[in-house]
Every structure is written in C-alpha cells, then in structure tokens.
Structure 1
Amino acid sequence: MTVGHDRADVPVVIIGAGPVGVTAALLLARRGVRTLVLERHQDVYPLPRAVATDDEVRRILQAAGVGEEFAAIARPADGLRLLDARHRVMAEFRRTGHGHHGYPQTSMFDQPRLERLLRDALARHPECELRGGVEVTVVGPDTAGPVRVTYRDDDGEHQLWAEAVLGCDGANGLTRAAVGAVWEDLRFEERWTVVDVRTTADVRCWEGVDQVCDPHRPATFMRVGEDRYRWEFRLRDGQEPVRELVAPWLPHSNDDDFEIVRETQYTFRARLADRWRSGRVFLLGDAAHLTPPFIGQGLCAGLRDAYNLTWKLARVLQHGCAEELLDTYESERKPHARHVIRLAVAMGWAMTGGQDGAAALRRGLLAAACRIPGLTALAGRDLSPPLTPGPLVRRRLRRGLAGTHCPQPWVTADGRRTRFDELLGDSFAFLTAAEPWPSLDALGQGLGVRVIPVTELGDDGALAAWLRAGRADAVLLRPDRVVVDVVPSGGRDFTDTAGWAPLLHTARSTPSPRRTSGESPLKGVTR
C-alpha cells in the first residue's frame, strides 16, 4: 500500500457527492473557493429518492447556477391533502402559484436527474474536482490548523490537508463521529415501503401530495412526473403485493401499463446531531439531521445547510473574516432543522394516529381541527420560520423583518427583466426605500456593502411594499438573502452596528466602488 501526500493545497474537502455535497461545491466555486469532492460511488445513484422541493430551495439552486436547468425537469404541485381511511378529504393545504422566493411553492422532480445536472455544472467549474470510487477512512484529528483527510482508492491510501471539511456523507458516514457528535432521538421510527411506478394509465390523483390518515394502512401518494408516481405505505405483518396496495388509485384493468421502477424499504427516523462542528469540520444534510419524509423537507434541509454555511466559509477563507462567523452556522440551522423534524413527526402521527388507546381520540380531534376556518391556511405557511436572534440576526420586533428572507421579484435593469438575486451578487447589500442618506452611504462604503434604492429596480413596487409592511426604511441583507438588521420607519440609522459590523469586516478585500450622482445603483452588479 502506498501513501501519497497532497498537503495544504486544498481549501475545502467535501465528503459525499450527493445533492448537498455538490451544491455546496457549486456555491463555493461561484465565490472562487476551490473544492475537492470525495465520493464512494463512481456515478449518480440511478434510482429515485427525494421527489419534492419548495420555493426557497429553488432559490438556492438558482444561487448554485442551475436554476434554469432545474426548471426544465421540475413540475409544480398543488400542495398537500389529508385523507381519511376511505380517501375522503379532511384537509387541504394549498401551495399554488409562485411563493416569496419567486418560484412555485412546491415542485416535484426526479432526484437522479437533479444529481446529473448538478454534476454537469460541477464539471464546468475549474475550481471543483470530483474523485469517485474512493473511501474516506479518517478525518482529523481536530487541530488548530488544516484538517487531515485520509482516503483509499485503487492506487492505495492517500492523505491530504484542507482548510475545512464538509461532511455530506449521510446518516452512516464517518464525519459525525469525527466531530464527536451523537444522535438526539426525536421519538419517531417506523418501517415503510416506497414504490415508484411508471404508467400512462389514468391514475386517480390530484396535482399534489395525498397523505392517507389511516392507522391500519397509512400511506402517501403523489404524482412525480408525466408518467411517474410514488406510493409509500407503512409496513405491517402480511404485507400485500404492490399491485394490491395501489389498487385504490389504479385498478387491475391497467396491468398491461404498469412498471415498477423501484420498490424498497426504509426506516423513517427523527434524529438530530447534538453538535454540527468541531474546528473546521462541519456536518451537513443527513449527517446532521434525519426527518421522516411526510412534509418533503429532507433534501431541502440539507440544501439550506449548504447555503447557510458556504458564504460564511468563503468569507473566512478568502476575505479574512472573523472565525466567529462560522459559529453562527449551527446556531442558525439547528433550531430550524428541529422545527422541520417536529412538523414531519406531527404529520406522521396525524397519518398513523398512533397505536395506543388514544389513537381514535386523536384522529377525531384532527378531523375536527381541520374544519376550523383558516387553520389549514395557517398550517400551510412557509416551512422556513425566521432565524433565531444572534450576531447576524438583530431582531427587535417579534414580527419584524430581521431573520426573514427578502422576496425575489422580477426586476428591470439595463432594459432587461431578470430575477432580483441575479443583480444582488454574492455579498451583503443595503436596501433602502428612500434615497440613501449620508450615514448609510458612509457605512456601506466602509464595509464594502452596496446601497440599493428599491425605487429604482423596476419591480412594480414589490420590494418597497415589503419594506413598508415590515415598517422599515432600510435593511441589511446577507448573501443568503436573510435580513440582518433594520432601520425602522422614520429612523435614520441602524442602532446596533457594533453587533454585526465586526463580522462583516474583511481583511483582504476592497470596498465596493461608490456610485456617482445619477448613476444606477445596479451598474456593475454581477455574480
């Protein structure tokens, strides 16, 4: 066995080339950070797994540079319905039209196609290298300097050193042990069978997801593509053949047009790693959290991890920002991951009703609650609540804008229509509803942050209305489009710049150019 040494020339090693790992590599590449992605398999896993995403994650894929390609393989869906044991609708959570982030609120897709387009994009970036067919055997030990990664391939064993390591290696990967993390059990574990079918027959369905709330036969059903459908059933003794399970949706008269693409069994679990970081080693995706799939947020949560961490890591590695910036990754993402898992567990209990003596009572209460006017609309709101207060979220009002995402309308610049994020670039930005005042301009100049009056965006007043509804004259946006802080209506300054300005300070960059009088605030804004 040979040992090779590739020392100190890899800024970031990413373990795992699934959607989370490759998206993280793309997000870093678009900020000029080189990555090496190490993957056990040589190619994309060919069978479908994740099938749903939301508008916020569509925005993340846009930031990764694959927004248009993903649109070509995605299909908008209408939301979620809860059905009783006789398949009668108890509640409907509509998610139609375009959401806050500028995309359909729910989209269905085929994961192998997503992974293929992500890898194709990766191949176009010289900053990224993907090595397949390798097994990572050691990460660490944790030191104050670069992180050692040991891996094995057909040529033997190799070591390299990285400024940071992202563990995107799933629930059974080794990175979680490397950071000393253990699972917190959030009290849900069930065995389910998942069946993907291809048929052109007339399947009884709607253009969304159905959850059958039957304790004897809980099920999930959805149309994934033009001729692709998925069913999920909780396992029980004496499991029926697939054809019998799907008969309520597709009668046996269609047997000549029925192809099982995949049938497999999963154990759905609810777990959360107790720590997500040790030094410069981080956990993302299933390495950090596991959720039942009932609200379609498993992959979404992992992509949110990648978006939250990568811009912070790039600023530390490339611009000399304070190491404390990286502390905000776990403090911001972990509460949201817990929130999503609890929602999924609650939906699981709604579907199954549990197995104890109170199951019938819970099902009765669920049916009654679903008839309360406005409750389903409330429950169907955005699955991404505001971030908790911290160094990069200066929230003072419970319903204020801090910690929430800026909307993404279509805007007009240089005579063309484009999405707002394409104009913002990859750094911070001040948005103001009025002509920038001297102190705001000076603050922007000192921090290298662009000041953008929203009245000049040609967005039909969408952003001005958003600021007005949030009682704000100006906001500071992070690179992931989250509001850091707010100048309240009638105010003239941010009141606590000492809370976040030190984290924005860059030791190795120059401020953005000051715009001249009469110059468009969008001139020169590029990715």
Structure 2
Amino acid sequence: MDPVIIVGAGPVGLALSLALAAQGVPSVVLDEGTGKEEPRPARSVVLRADMAAMVERLGCTTLRDEGVRWIGWRGMRRRQEVRRLTLDLGLGGTEEWSEDPDAPAAPAAPLHIPQHALARGLRDAISRQKLIRLVTESRLDTIEQDKDGVVAHTRGPEGTWWRGSHLVGCDGARSTVRKLLGIRFPGRTAVERHAVAALRTELPWPGEALLHRQPPWRGAAEEITARPLPDGVWRIDWLLPPRGDLVTPDALVARIRETLAGWCEGVTPPYELIDTGVHTLHHRLARRWRVDRVLLAGDAAHLLGAVGTQGLDEGLRDVDNLAWKLAHTWHHGGSDRLLDSYQSERRTAVATRLRAADQSLPVLRGGGGLRTYLPGAGRGHDALLTDGHVGRGPLGAPPAYPHSPLAPEYTEGQTPVGTPAGAPVEDVRVTAPDGTTVRLRDRLGQGRLLVLLVAPGTGVWDRRHWRTAGVMPRLEEAVDALPVKAEVLVTEAYPGAPAHAVLLVRPDGHLVAAFSGVRPEELYAAADAARGGEATDPEPAEEVPVGSDRTADMH
C-alpha cells in the first residue's frame, strides 16, 4: 500500500510522520525548504505536559537539553504580586495566592523550547526511521484524488508525481493544500501583536515565568510576559497596541532597559540581546478539515494564540488525534466515521478554544470602563490569563470529546470515575504485560486500545499469582476477543474508580468508557464504537518500504 503524503516539514508535519511510523505506517514528507532550521530563540513554543510527553515518545531528545519546565508562575499587576503558582514538574502542583489560599492545584509544568530546537530534535528522530522519507525543496503544485488514493505533483530539484494512500496538509497558515481544496479560512486578523526579545540576563525569578499587567513605569506596555529558556536566556513579550507604530530597534532597546530596570529595583542589569521580532497573532478556523483522502492539521487548519492559548500545542493535539485513526485505516481499512471523527473532535475543540479567547479579549483588553472597578474584576482577569498560560480553564485545559462520533452508547454496566467519558485519562502508574511498572502515558501512541483494570493490592502480589487469579483470566479472554488490538494494564488505584473497574482508553489517551467489572459484551461494543464501526475495507494493508518505485512514481 502507498505511504501517507505529508505536506509541510514544520513540527506538526514532522511529528505526524513519526507518530505514523511508530504504528508501522510509512510516509513521505514534502519539505518546501532546505531542511535546515534557522536558530531563532525569540521564536519559541510552549507545550503542555501531555504534549511534551508525546513528543518525547516520538524520539525527540532536545526537550530535555534545550527546553525548560517552569518551576513557578508569577502574576503581577502594577507594583503588586497578585498570584503565584508553584508548578509541579510531575503531575500536579500547589498554589499560593494571598487572596485565595484554597484555590485549586496547578497543572504539571509546561515546557518552553525554541521552535528550531524542537524541529531539529524531530528531524534527528526521523533520521533514525526507515519508514519516513523526507524530501527537501519540494513545493506542492497539484493534488488529484481517486477512490484508491491521492496523487500529488511537486516542483523542485526532485519534482515528480507522488502517490499516497492519504495526504495531510501540515503546510502552515498559507497552506497550499487548503487552497487547492478550495476550503475557506475565515477569522480575525492581527488579534494581538507582541514585540519579542530573547536576551541573556539575570532576573529576580530564576526558573519562573512572569505575567506583569499594567506595569507602573512610564511608557510600559499594557502587559509583559517573561519566560525562561536554558543558559540564562529569557523570552520577553510586550503586548503592543492593535494599530501601533512599527517597532524600531531603538524603541525595542528602550523597552528592554525600562522593563529590566522596573523588575530590578530601578537598575538595568547587564544583558546580551540575542534575537528580536514582532509576533502577530491571528484567529482563523478552516471550514473543513477533511475532503475524502486529504486532511488538514496544525496552522493549515487553525490559527490561535491570543491571551495564553498555544497554537503549536493544538497542532500536536491534531497529530495525536489523527495518527492512530489514519494508522488504523491504513492497516485495516476504516469506516468514514473514524476519519470524520478527526474533524468533528478537533475542529469542535479548537472552535471552543477560539470562542473562549474571542469572548475574553474585550474584557481583558477593553481599556477601562466601569467593569474594571468592580470588586474582584482584576483578580478574575489575572486568573483567566494565568489559566491560559499554564494549561487549565477554557483557554488552556486539554480538550475533551464528550460528543464524539466514536462514543459508545450508554449501558447499565458503565460506572462513573474521576475522568468523564471523552476526557484525557490520568497518568497513573500501571503494570504492563511484561511485569514492568510504568506511567500510563508511556503506553499511548502505539495504535492499540488500552484496557485498564483497577485492582488494589496488586503492587504487593507476585505477578505470577494475580495474572491467573480473580477477574484477570476473564478480562484477558474478553480483550483477546475485541475487534481491535488492545493491551491489558493493571493499576492499584484510579481517581474516583471503584475496585475492579475496567477503563477502556483510546490510543491518544481519551477515555472511551469505564465499566463496573468485566463485561465482555459491553467492552466489545465500546471498542467497536471507538474504531468507528466495521471497516469498509477489511483486508489488511500490504506494507511497502519507503523509497520503492511505488512510493515515488505515478502509475
């Protein structure tokens, strides 16, 4: 069978190729550029903990060396500190806030990394993969589809026809794929503008990120954000007026000096300016994300990033959602419902995020009015912005898919647990089939369902005994009979789950359903729903090495 064609070699396209390779699916990545990443420290990205873990599973090693997990988050307004989070580098956190000491715990620390370092790490991982062919200086020209696949023509030194089973456009905001499909991309232009600088200096909050609203010094921006990077480097963003003047070098240096002095008791500390830029944020959402065998992902499908939302993080969530569905279809055939669910789930989630950001902007950037004098108004605005930056609330929390087309019908055997159906599961410790103890997150992304048994006490039992005792034999028999591959995992406890509960988890970590005990028929029905029902092409796909004649030439 032909490989998947991926157009675009940014982090989303590279990650998709690796996610498919992890599930045995070959791909050809068409890179319009030369394959070299220009170092730009001022162009950095923030990944939530679950997406950073996904990228690490794909073999990207630069996250540990060139990324920073914030140990804390500070919120300041004028001259006062109004909010402080002590972020946990693992699974949770604590919060210190003078006005509300009982506020909920913070999520796991986000990861901050220069985008060029992330892309380089993904390319290095690709260089170790035999199922991925990366073709540079290849500009997409045309796309043609038929009932069996997709044909793409490229211009460049290796300009040729490429034949694929599917094609995914990961080619950015000006996506050629989207334009060739005639898909509209409505939205708002220049929602926010930021002057950006990467500089090496010492600030009073090593390892912590800062959001400073309404700084007290003269000529300051309405909002300033500082985020640490490795080797003493900081990325600092100044929110600019919507229709402000151009940011000249002299004006930017003046901003840097005023800001550093304002944070360091009136004295500008020594600093080394490394990189600068102006970051303009747009909010747009493609009308369609799938046209038969062609799909969109990342900035080709959506643009967001205002008030703390993270565009690349959402693009990687597209990858996490799409890869296992595309891999199942490639290997086994798939119903239209399975691939349609990608658009249904992800487009709805991004639209919800965009709606929350657009509704927040008039309140956060309104520039005054009586509402700003209401008790608690400033505090609520600070909390909303912080939530977007650290990954919780309507602007930042991982998406759930409660109304997914892949959701099974409710049955009496289902039981509520701490995770609602369609939401991401908790990253609990589990015992794998080989007897090793790992995190649940480590078993994701392998193209199979996970069946998690909650069995208190198993941690102190000899595995040879509990695997043949109690409900385990019946559960393993039920899992062997499922219509798709699945792996049995065991955990001592899961939040809100009773003993002997059985959780069915998708390959991307979202909960399908939870059952009170082993219920083979209901488990089968839920697994069948999760795969989108019976495949339209049940014959398994023939694996074809990348680079063979069939992957490079049109027949």
Does the residue aligned with 2:186 lie in a helix, a strand or coil? strand
Partner amino acid, structure 1, of 2:439: R
Paired with 2:274 and 2:162, the residues of 1 have a C-alpha distance of 40
Paired with 1:93 and 1:350, the residues of 2 have a C-alpha distance of 23
Structure 2: segments with no counterpart, 5+ residues: 94-106, 215-219, 411-415, 456-470, 542-555
Change (3 A) 1:451 1:191: closer
Partner residue of 2:11 out of 19, 23, 30: 19
Does the residue aligned with 1:250 lie in a helix, a strand or coil? helix
Does the residue aligned with 1:426 lie in a helix, a strand or coil? coil
CA contact (8 A) 2:451 2:505 kept: yes
Partner amino acid, structure 2, of 1:21: G
Provide the residue aligned with 1:149 in structure 2.
152
Partner amino acid, structure 2, of 1:441: E
Paired with 1:162 and 1:362, the residues of 2 have a C-alpha distance of 59
Instruction: Tell me the alpha carbon deviations over residues 120-160 of structure 1, each in whole angstroms, 9 at most, x when there is no partner.
Output: 110111110111122112233x44332221111135x4222
Provide the residue aligned with 1:112 in structure 2.
116
CA contact (8 A) 1:440 1:493 kept: no
Instruction: Say if 2:347 is the partner of 1:334.
Output: yes
Instruction: Say if 2:245 is the partner of 1:237.
Output: yes
Paired with 2:267 and 2:213, the residues of 1 have a C-alpha distance of 27
Paired with 2:161 and 2:258, the residues of 1 have a C-alpha distance of 55
Higher deviation after alignment, 265-274 or 423-432: 423-432
Instruction: Say if 2:367 is the partner of 1:367.
Output: no
How far residue 175 of structure 1 moved from its aligned partner, in angstroms, is 1.3
Partner residue of 2:194 out of 185, 192, 195: 192
Change (3 A) 1:231 1:379: closer
Does the residue aligned with 1:221 lie in a helix, a strand or coil? strand
Partner amino acid, structure 2, of 1:36: V
Partner amino acid, structure 1, of 2:494: A
Change (3 A) 1:130 1:187: closer
Partner residue of 1:393 out of 389, 401, 407: 407
Provide the residue aligned with 2:290 in structure 1.
277
CA contact (8 A) 2:404 2:422 kept: no
Instruction: Tell me the alpha carbon deviations over residues 171-226 of structure 1, each in whole angstroms, 9 at most, x when there is no partner.
Output: 012111223321232586233222222x2x32234533323333953322211223
Instruction: Tell me the alpha carbon deviations over residues 314-361 of structure 1, each in whole angstroms, 9 at most, x when there is no partner.
Output: 11111223232101001111122123334444665565x224x63873
Paired with 1:417 and 1:496, the residues of 2 have a C-alpha distance of 27
Matched-pair identity in % = 24
Change (3 A) 1:297 1:279: same
CA contact (8 A) 1:473 1:491 kept: no
CA contact (8 A) 1:79 1:106 kept: no
CA contact (8 A) 2:345 2:401 kept: yes
Paired with 2:519 and 2:313, the residues of 1 have a C-alpha distance of 37
Does the residue aligned with 1:465 lie in a helix, a strand or coil? coil
Change (3 A) 1:13 1:90: same
Partner amino acid, structure 1, of 2:112: M
Instruction: Say if 2:52 is the partner of 1:58.
Output: yes
Provide the residue aligned with 2:550 in structure 1.
none
Does the residue aligned with 2:478 lie in a helix, a strand or coil? helix
Instruction: Tell me the alpha carbon deviations over residues 474-493 of structure 1, each in whole angstroms, 9 at most, x when there is no partner.
Output: 12111112111221479786
CA contact (8 A) 1:169 1:287 kept: yes
CA contact (8 A) 1:409 1:419 kept: yes
Paired with 1:150 and 1:379, the residues of 2 have a C-alpha distance of 40
Instruction: Say if 2:147 is the partner of 1:127.
Output: no
Where does 1:160-239 land on structure 2 (aligned, <5 Å)? 160-185=162-187, 189-197=191-199, 199=200, 201-205=201-205, 207-214=207-214, 217-235=222-240, 236-237=244-245, 239=247
Where does 1:27-46 land on structure 2 (aligned, <5 Å)? 27-42=19-34, 43-46=36-39
Instruction: Tell me the alpha carbon deviations over residues 26-60 of structure 1, each in whole angstroms, 9 at most, x when there is no partner.
Output: 01111111111111111123213233111110222
Higher deviation after alignment, 187-196 or 227-236: 187-196
Instruction: Tell me the alpha carbon deviations over residues 231-252 of structure 1, each in whole angstroms, 9 at most, x when there is no partner.
Output: 1223333756222212344249
CA contact (8 A) 1:487 1:493 kept: no
Instruction: Say if 2:313 is the partner of 1:304.
Output: no
Change (3 A) 1:261 1:216: closer
Where does 1:480-499 land on structure 2 (aligned, <5 Å)? 480-488=508-516, 494=522, 497=525
Does the residue aligned with 2:175 lie in a helix, a strand or coil? coil
Partner amino acid, structure 2, of 1:213: R
Partner amino acid, structure 1, of 2:502: A
Instruction: Tell me the alpha carbon deviations over residues 363-384 of structure 1, each in whole angstroms, 9 at most, x when there is no partner.
Output: 9753143699xx9799945611
Provide the residue aligned with 2:99 in structure 1.
none
How far residue 105 of structure 1 moved from its aligned partner, in angstroms, is 2.8
Instruction: Say if 2:452 is the partner of 1:431.
Output: yes
Change (3 A) 1:203 1:345: farther
Paired with 1:277 and 1:28, the residues of 2 have a C-alpha distance of 18
CA contact (8 A) 1:16 1:40 kept: yes
Pairs aligned (count) = 482
Paired with 2:488 and 2:524, the residues of 1 have a C-alpha distance of 21
How far residue 417 of structure 1 moved from its aligned partner, in angstroms, is 4.7
How far residue 437 of structure 1 moved from its aligned partner, in angstroms, is 7.0
CA contact (8 A) 2:31 2:139 kept: yes
Provide the residue aligned with 1:419 in structure 2.
439
Paired with 1:135 and 1:312, the residues of 2 have a C-alpha distance of 27
Provide the residue aligned with 2:477 in structure 1.
441
Instruction: Say if 2:369 is the partner of 1:358.
Output: yes
Does the residue aligned with 2:257 lie in a helix, a strand or coil? coil
Change (3 A) 1:509 1:401: farther
Provide the residue aligned with 1:454 in structure 2.
490
Instruction: Say if 2:85 is the partner of 1:71.
Output: no
Partner amino acid, structure 1, of 2:403: P
Instruction: Tell me the alpha carbon deviations over residues 415-446 of structure 1, each in whole angstroms, 9 at most, x when there is no partner.
Output: 75543344564311222235247487335424
Provide the residue aligned with 1:5 in structure 2.
none
CA contact (8 A) 1:203 1:249 kept: no
Partner residue of 2:497 out of 468, 479, 493: 468
CA contact (8 A) 2:59 2:122 kept: no
CA RMSD of aligned residues (A): 3.6
Does the residue aligned with 1:72 lie in a helix, a strand or coil? helix
Does the residue aligned with 2:343 lie in a helix, a strand or coil? helix
Paired with 2:286 and 2:142, the residues of 1 have a C-alpha distance of 19
